[in-house]
Amino acid sequence: MDITALRDQAIEAIERAKNAKELEEVNKIYLGRKGKLTQLLRSLNAMEAGERRKIGAAANALRDELHETLEKKQELLARLELQEEARQNRIDVTVPGKRLPVGHLHPLTHIQREARRIFESMGFSTVQGNEIESQHYNFDALNFPPDHPARDMQDTFWLKQHRKGERNLLRTHTSPVQVRYMEQHVPPFRIIVPGRVFRNEATDARHETNLYQLEGLMVGKYVSAAHFKGVLEEFYREFFHTPVSIRLRPSFFPFVEPGFEVDMSCVVCKGGGCSTCSQGGWIEMMGAGMVHPNVFKAAGYVPGDWQGFAFGMGLDRLAMMKYKVHDIRLFYGGDFRFLRQF
Ligand code: FA5
The verdict on 167 and 301 lying in the same domain is: yes
Ligand 1 centroid, distance to 278 Cα (angstroms): 17
Q: Whose CA is nearest to atom 14 of ligand 1?
A: 287
In a domain, 274, yes or no: yes
Low-confidence ranges of the chain (pLDDT < 70): 1
Q: Compute the distance from residue 315 Cα to the ligand 1 centre, in Å.
A: 9
Condensed to tens digits (0 to 9), the pLDDT of residues 187-244 reads 999 999 999 999 999 999 999 999 999 999 999 999 999 999 999 989 999 999 977 8
Q: Ligand 1 mean position to 240 CA, how many Å?
A: 20
Same domain (yes/no): 158, 11:
no
In a domain, 231, yes or no: yes
Is 196 among the domain residues? yes
Question: Do 147 and 280 fall within a single domain?
Answer: yes
Q: Which residues line ligand 1 (CB under 6 A)?
A: 173, 175, 199, 201, 207-208, 211, 213, 253, 256, 259, 284-289, 310-312, 314, 316-317, 328
The span from the CA of 210 to the CA of 197, in Å, is: 6
- Which residue among 138, 256, 286 is best mutated to probe the pocket of ligand 1, counting the most ligand atoms within 8 A of its Cβ? 286
Residue 295 neighbours by CB under 8 Å, 6+ apart: 141, 142, 143, 178, 179, 182, 255
Can you give the length of the chain in residues?
A: 342
Residue 329 lies in a domain: yes
Question: Are 209 and 285 within one domain?
Answer: yes
94 inside domain:
no
pLDDT attached to residue 1: 64
The answer to whether the CB of 298 falls within 8 A of the CB of 178 is: no
Q: For residue 143, is it left (φ>0), alpha (ψ between -120 and 50) or beta?
A: left
Domain co-membership, 316 together with 273: yes
Q: Quick one: 243 and 115 in the same domain? A: yes
Query: By three-state DSSP, how is residue 254 classified?
Result: coil
Which of 57, 88, 119 is the last residue before a domain boundary? 88
Number of domains the chain is built from? 2
Question: How many other β-carbons are positioned within 10 Å of the β-carbon of residue 54?
Answer: 12
Task: Report the nearest-CA residue for atom 24 of ligand 1.
Answer: 314
DSSP string, 224-248: -HHHHHHHHHHHHHHHHSS---EEE
The residue type found at 131 is E
Q: What are phi and psi of 262, to 5 degrees?
A: -110, 125
CA atoms of 133 and 171, how far apart (whole Å): 5
Contact between 150 and 172 under an 8 Å Cβ cutoff? The reply is yes
Q: Which of 60, 88, 116 is the last residue of a domain?
A: 88
Candidates 213, 218, 246, 311: which one to mutate for ligand 1, based on the most atoms within 8 Å of Cβ?
213
Q: How many CB atoms lie within 10 A of CB 185?
A: 13
* Co-location of 114 and 203 in the same domain: yes
What is d(CA 269, CA 91) in angstroms, rounded to the nearest whole number? 56
Task: Tell me the three-class secondary structure of 258-301, residue by residue.
Answer: EEEEEEEECCCCCCCCCCCCCCCCEEEEEEEEEECHHHHHHCCC
Q: Are residues 148 and 296 in the same domain?
A: yes
Residue that terminates a domain, selected from 58, 88, 118: 88
Residue 177 shares a structural domain with residue 254: yes
Task: Please state the atom number of ligand 1 nearest to the C-alpha of residue 313.
Answer: 18
Q: How many Cβ atoms are within 10 Å of 88's Cβ, its own excluded?
A: 7
Query: Which atom of ligand 1 lies nearest, measured to the CA of 318?
Result: 23
101 found inside a domain: no
User: Do both 84 and 134 map to the same domain?
Assistant: no
The 10s digit of each residue's pLDDT in 249-290 is 999 999 999 999 999 988 888 889 998 899 999 999 999 999
Span from the CA of 259 to the centroid of ligand 1 (angstroms): 13
Question: By the 8 A CB rule, do 232 and 262 touch?
Answer: yes
Q: How close is the Cα of 151 to the center of ligand 1, in Å?
A: 15
Range of the domain at 40: 3-88
Inside any domain, residue 102: no
Assess if residue 123 is contained within a domain: yes
Distance between Cα 286 and ligand 1 center (Å): 6
> Which CATH number covers residue 235?
3.30.930.10
What are 309's strand-pairing partners? Answer: 218, 290
Residues 72 and 133 placed together within one structural domain of the fold? no
Are residues 218 and 132 part of one domain? yes
* H helix runs in 157-208, sequence order: 176-184
**pLDDT for residue 268:** 85
